[in-house]
Amino acid sequence: MKILHTSDWHIGRFLNQRSLLGDQAAILEGLRALLRRELPDVLIIAGDLYDRSIPSREALSLVDDILDTVILELKIPTIIIGGNHDGGQRLAFTSGILEKRGLYIRGVFTPSPEPIVLEDGQGGVAFWPVPFVKPVEYRDITGEESVRDYQDMYAAILEDIEKRMDPSLRHVLITHGMILSHLPEDGDLDDSVRPIEIGGISFARSSLFRAFDYVALGHLHRPQRVGDDRIRYAGSLFKYSFSEVNQHKSVTLVDMDGSGEVDIRTKSLPTLRDMAILIGTLDDLTGASALDHPGREDYIKVILTDGVRRLNPMEQLKKVYPNVLEMEYQSQSISRGSTTTKRIKERLSDPLALFEDFYEQIHGEPLTPEKQAVAREIMEETHETH
């Protein structure tokens, strides 16, 4: 069976208040062409199809257009699960009707998920969809109070699934979450990835997933294996943060034989523009030679090395780089570049600090003292409740 594993489309995403719908439309055209060439037996979208729980009309239209091609024209069965950005209930609306056409949507987690069984010339493959769910939500749904974190939660979910696995079938798990084989190192986590747990253990270990022939993961934006070639993140379709500037984006093609052995290929998709970080003095970056820069139409972040602050640098930069989105001085970059393993661990244990980071990333400005007080009060109430 040929499986096309994708995730984290984030349709409707903005980058520094710039809509990326045009870029996403171009990528989806490339995906459409790839689907026509490869004709996979199934397309997987492992969470975060949309970037917001209530997508815009334009985002909905873009997704509707590509799914029309996949489902109605190419007749490729498609499995979509909810991620932490998706509105699971909305995503799953009318999913029962759509299944007759081959579109299987599992927007929200339900206990003891049923497999979606698809046939090829070598038998059946059971796809087990596990949408994004937080441990606190899992406890509320199942009543299993002993579940404290993601490790406990996935252990319970997988134990239930493994009891019901038909040995005559091949088995694929689809889930959206933080699955790691080790503690995260520098660069493992992208700025555009929302933390999915604050405090305690924020991930499950990949060793839990060994019973499956393939595990299709979503949430992390860098394409990567997790301890084993059979456990993989497809990564996001596009670079959604300047922390992802050096990542090579792709989708994952999985060829599975009759015994469940897999052969992995990755395919890159064409983009309208790339993303780049330019470092230098304002004069160097805006001089006559800069007009010949091959990537000056890309999304640009500039780090200025000038020893003194310059007057209206963004205005000068935009004359050369029309899509420059961020600018800072090197001294700021050095002081801010402390996203180390130690810092990640410190932030995971400090809910308010995590929220402050997230707020500043989205809004481009720090929390005011008033908003900080409100956030602290809400977190204290939540902690008391759970």
Tell me the pLDDT tens digit for each residue of 28-78: 999 999 999 999 999 999 999 999 989 999 999 999 999 999 999 999 999
Q: Say yes or no to pLDDT of 199 above 50.
A: no
Residue 336 lies in a domain: no
Label residue 190 by pLDDT band (50, 70, 90): low
Q: How far apart are CA 222 and CA 189, in angstroms?
A: 8
Q: Say yes or no to pLDDT of 186 above 50.
A: no
pLDDT at 331: 75
Q: What is the mean pLDDT of residues 67-96?
A: 84
191/279 same-domain check: no
Q: How far apart are CA 352 and CA 329, in angstroms?
A: 27
Q: Say yes or no to pLDDT of 97 above 50.
A: yes
Label residue 279 by pLDDT band (50, 70, 90): very high
46/191 same-domain check: yes
Q: How far apart are CA 386 and CA 370, in angstroms?
A: 25
Read off the pLDDT of residues 302-348 as tens digits, 9 standing for 90 and up. Answer: 999 998 888 899 999 999 999 999 999 987 655 555 444 455 455 55
Q: Say yes or no to pLDDT of 244 above 80.
A: yes
Q: How far apart are CA 232 and CA 256, in angstroms?
A: 14
Label residue 82 by pLDDT band (50, 70, 90): very high
Residue 169 lies in a domain: yes
Label residue 257 by pLDDT band (50, 70, 90): very high
Q: What is the mean pLDDT of residues 6-16?
A: 96
Which positions ≥6 away from 283 have C-beta within 8 Å? none
Residue 335 lies in a domain: no
Q: How far apart are CA 274 and CA 293, in angstroms?
A: 13
155/175 same-domain check: yes
Domain count of the fold of the chain = 3
Tokens linked to 319 = 């004359």
Q: Say yes or no to pLDDT of 247 above 60.
A: yes
pLDDT at 283: 94
Q: How far apart are CA 187 and CA 198, in angstroms?
A: 19
Q: What is the mean pLDDT of residues 350-359?
A: 70
pLDDT at 358: 64
291/143 same-domain check: no
229/313 same-domain check: no
pLDDT at 170: 98
182/227 same-domain check: yes
Please name which of 171, 170, 176, 169 lies closest in space to residue 153, comparing C-alpha atoms.
176
pLDDT at 346: 54
Residue 153 is part of a domain; what is its CATH number?
A: 3.60.21.10
Q: Say yes or no to pLDDT of 373 above 50.
A: yes
Residue after which a domain boundary falls, among 329, 357, 374? 329
Share above pLDDT 70 across residues of the chain, in percent, rounded to a whole number: 82
Using DSSP bridges, classify how beta strands 299-304 and 324-329 pair: parallel, antiparallel or unpaired: parallel
Residue after which a domain boundary falls, among 268, 284, 309? 268
Share above pLDDT 90 across residues of the chain, in percent, rounded to a whole number: 69
Residue 286 lies in a domain: yes
Residue 229 lies in a domain: yes
Range of the domain at 309: 275-329
Label residue 359 by pLDDT band (50, 70, 90): low
pLDDT at 311: 87
301/374 same-domain check: no
167/99 same-domain check: yes
| Ranges 122-126, 181-185, 266-270: which has the least confidence | 181-185
Please name which of 45, 3, 53 lies closest in space to residue 28, comparing C-alpha atoms.
45
In this prediction the pTM is 0.82
Determine contact, residues 9/23, Cβ cutoff 8 Å: no
263/359 same-domain check: no
Q: How far apart are CA 11 and CA 323, in angstroms?
A: 20
CA 348: distance to chain centroid?
19
202/280 same-domain check: no
298/172 same-domain check: no
Q: Say yes or no to pLDDT of 22 above 60.
A: yes
Q: What is the mean pLDDT of residues 209-234?
A: 95
Mean pLDDT value across the chain: 87
Residue after which a domain boundary falls, among 286, 303, 329? 329
307/353 same-domain check: no
What backbone torsions phi and psi does residue 310 show, to the nearest 5 degrees? -100, 160
| Ranges 119-128, 145-154, 365-374: which has the least confidence | 365-374
Q: What is the mean pLDDT of residues 377-386?
A: 60
